[in-house]
Amino acid sequence: MKKLKKIEFLSETDIIIEHLTMAQTEELSALELAMTKGVLYTTVLNAAEIKLLAADSDNEKCINDILSSLHILGLHYRYSAYVNEFYPVMKNVRDALFCVTAKINKLPILTDKPEKFIDTGLQVLTTEDLRKL
């Protein structure tokens, strides 16, 4: 029997924050939906941004639980060779490195702010796109 390849996504910080702050509903968050449909990655930069949001130990535990369920990609020194490709569009190193990570790892970006990546040439999916898959 042919094994189906799982869909892979690179999550931007907004998807993780939405999950952490969303009220309990029967509808799955984008993060939960992505994890049921495939494999969800994020970068060490996104993980650091999320960790900075922890206001207390309860929040920190929730954040650690979420981050431990994701595949967190580090930044290899070779990524710096591609920063100039995205820096003119993204206007900051953090976003340029995020785009480089998506490109090198051939991952579509999952975000509900697709306009941020409109001129990158990268594949970008939103929560609505994810629900249609």
> Using CA atoms, how far apart are residues 61 and 43, in angstroms rounded to an integer?
19
Q: Which two tokens stand for residue 98?
A: 């995020």
Q: Is 68 exposed, middle or buried (0-12, 13-18, 19+ CB in 10 A)?
A: exposed
Beta bridge partners, 72, equal 42
What pTM, to 2 d.p., does this model score? 0.92
pLDDT of residue 95: 97
Quick one: fold of 7-132? Rossmann fold (3.40.50)
Per-residue pLDDT of the chain (133 residues; tens, 9 = 90+): 556 678 999 999 999 999 998 877 778 999 999 999 999 999 999 999 999 988 788 888 999 999 999 999 999 999 999 999 999 999 999 999 999 999 999 999 999 999 999 999 999 999 999 999 8
Q: Burial code of 8-46, b = ≥16 C-beta within 10 A, e = fewer?
A: bbbbbbbbbeebbeeeeeeebbbbebbbebbebbbbebb
pLDDT of residue 53: 85
Residue 132 phi/psi, 5-degree rounding, is: -85, -15
Question: Any idea where the domains of the chain sit in the sequence?
Answer: 7-132
> Using CA atoms, how far apart are residues 129 and 109, in angstroms rounded to an integer?
11
